[in-house]
């Protein structure tokens, strides 16, 4: 009798274990099916902390994207063919900081569109859990107020026959345009039926109103303002001696941002540490911190003053800096000794490839 009871218990235990294994396998299969629908993911960041600098001429932001990374890692573990953009992208205008995140079944960008290697979006209506959002943080609000815009919804409201195709990559490639105090994000659409995505339609996202528009408040289109904005984005580039000084001081300049690399926490003698101690302490607190420039980014003098915050007071960051002929006002090479000489001789240069790209867009 005792033996029979033991056998029953053993049998029940085996059945229970097999049932649990079956449930686990079934659940994993369900999760794999659920996750594998979505081929393209973008890491999402949330602002954890921030500190304004010099009457809102700049802002230091600490980002947290661990939650998104964890979700995406789980997706990658379940489905190897998921394509994840792990580089966290954010861009800034004179008022707004924006990021995007998406989970899509089809490729959302025009990059490599002609290669035919990816299935691109063919609708402006999300399917079964898809999303494509842009978070917009208002630096003029009291507590850095955030609005989230649904790209699919805004596209349908703008034109029901358009499909969103590109949001300027949310990177420093294009960026936010500021016109008369209004910030705009360049966007690209295609019409339904344009399967090869060869006829792009250009527009702008008004970041304050949360709607797509064809022109800025002064009547400029995306193409009208792209050239000058590319020019100011190239300011302070092609200057190896200046780059070396920034690197030696654990600073990296990216046009609209200043990154402080590992080791900057030891520069307690910097202007930032002395004049903006709260911002300095925030930078020291973690590696996901970015210094965004909120002033007029076409003003090179403003950019220089922001960069100099990373150096001790009185530092001459332009001593023995060479301005190459292609970046000088008079077409000659100059070895300068101070900021005044730099402003006298230096100019940003647009590449011939970019000029060709702009002309091609104007003729389409």
Residue 184 has pLDDT above 60, yes or no: yes
Residue 148 and residue 46 in contact, taking contact as beta carbons nearer than 8 Å: no
pLDDT digits (tens, 9 = 90+) for 53-80: 988 999 999 988 777 667 777 766 666 6
Q: For the whole model, what pTM was predicted?
A: 0.81
- What is the mean pLDDT of the segment spanning 136-157? 93
CA 53 – CA 139 distance, rounded (Å) = 12
The Cβ of residue 178 has, within 10 Å, a number of other Cβ atoms equal to 20
Structure-model confidence comparison of residues 129 and 50, the more confident one: 50
Look at residue 116 in the predicted model and tell me its pLDDT.
46
> Is residue 198 classed as helix, strand or coil in its secondary structure?
coil
pLDDT digits (tens, 9 = 90+) for 87-122: 667 888 889 999 888 888 876 665 444 444 456 778
Look at residue 348 in the predicted model and tell me its pLDDT.
76
- Computed over its alpha carbons, how large is the radius of gyration of the chain? 26
- Sorted by sequence, the CB contacts under 8 Å of residue 276 that are 6+ apart come out as 51, 53, 54, 309
CA 181 – CA 26 distance, rounded (Å) = 55
Average pLDDT, the chain: 79
Look at residue 105 in the predicted model and tell me its pLDDT.
82
CA 177 – CA 185 distance, rounded (Å) = 6
Structure-model confidence comparison of residues 224 and 128, the more confident one: 128
CA 54 – CA 63 distance, rounded (Å) = 21
Look at residue 114 in the predicted model and tell me its pLDDT.
43
Percent of the chain at pLDDT > 70 equals 70
Structure-model confidence comparison of residues 105 and 148, the more confident one: 148
Supply 16's token pair.
């229970």
pLDDT bin (cut points 50, 70, 90) of residue 211 is very high
Look at residue 115 in the predicted model and tell me its pLDDT.
44
Look at residue 172 in the predicted model and tell me its pLDDT.
41
* Closest by CA position to 292, among listed 43, 101, 47: 47
- What is the mean pLDDT of the segment spanning 294-308? 88
Look at residue 5 in the predicted model and tell me its pLDDT.
58
Look at residue 121 in the predicted model and tell me its pLDDT.
77
Residue 187 and residue 176 in contact, taking contact as beta carbons nearer than 8 Å: no
Percent of the chain at pLDDT > 90 equals 28
Look at residue 138 in the predicted model and tell me its pLDDT.
95
Backbone angles phi, psi at 269, to 5 degrees: -90, 0
Look at residue 49 in the predicted model and tell me its pLDDT.
92
- Sorted by sequence, the CB contacts under 8 Å of residue 325 that are 6+ apart come out as 331, 332, 333
- What's the gap between Cα 174 and its chain centre? 10
Residue 33 has pLDDT above 70, yes or no: no
Residue 147: exposed, middle, or buried by beta-carbon count in 10 A (0-12, 13-18, 19+)? middle
Look at residue 344 in the predicted model and tell me its pLDDT.
94
């Amino acid at each position: 009798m005792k033996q029979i009871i033991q056998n029953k218990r053993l049998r029940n235990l085996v059945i229970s274990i097999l049932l649990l294994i079956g449930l686990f396998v079934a659940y994993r299969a369900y999760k794999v099916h659920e996750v594998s629908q979505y081929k393209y993911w973008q890491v999402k960041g949330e602002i954890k902390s921030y500190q304004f600098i010099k009457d809102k001429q700049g802002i230091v932001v600490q980002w947290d994207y661990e939650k998104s990374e964890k979700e995406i890692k789980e997706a990658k573990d379940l489905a190897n063919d998921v394509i994840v953009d792990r580089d966290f992208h954010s861009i800034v205008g004179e008022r707004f900081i924006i990021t995007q995140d998406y989970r899509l079944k089809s490729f959302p960008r025009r990059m490599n569109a002609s290669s035919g290697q990816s299935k691109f979006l063919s609708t402006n209506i999300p399917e079964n859990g898809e999303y494509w959002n842009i978070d917009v943080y208002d630096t003029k609000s009291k507590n850095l107020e955030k609005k989230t815009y649904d790209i699919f919804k805004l596209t349908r409201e703008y034109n029901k026959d358009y499909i969103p195709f590109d949001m300027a990559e949310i990177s420093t490639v294009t960026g936010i345009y500021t016109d008369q105090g209004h910030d705009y994000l360049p966007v690209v659409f295609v019409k339904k039926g344009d399967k090869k995505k060869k006829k792009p339609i250009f527009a702008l996202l008004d970041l304050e109103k949360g709607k797509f528009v064809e022109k800025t408040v002064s009547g400029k289109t995306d193409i009208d303002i792209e050239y000058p904005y590319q020019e100011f984005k190239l300011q302070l580039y092609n200057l190896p001696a200046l780059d070396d000084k920034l690197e030696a001081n654990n600073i990296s300049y990216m046009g609209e941002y200043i990154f402080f690399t590992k080791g900057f926490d030891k520069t307690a003698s910097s202007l930032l540490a002395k004049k903006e101690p709260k911002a300095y302490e925030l930078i020291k607190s973690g590696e996901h911190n970015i210094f965004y420039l909120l002033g007029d980014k076409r003003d090179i003098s403003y950019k220089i003053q922001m960069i100099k915050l990373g150096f001790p007071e009185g530092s001459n960051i332009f001593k023995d800096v060479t301005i190459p002929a292609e970046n000088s006002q008079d077409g000659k090479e100059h070895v300068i000794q101070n900021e005044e000489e730099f402003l006298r001789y230096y100019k940003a240069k647009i590449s011939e490839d970019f000029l060709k790209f702009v002309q091609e867009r104007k003729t389409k």
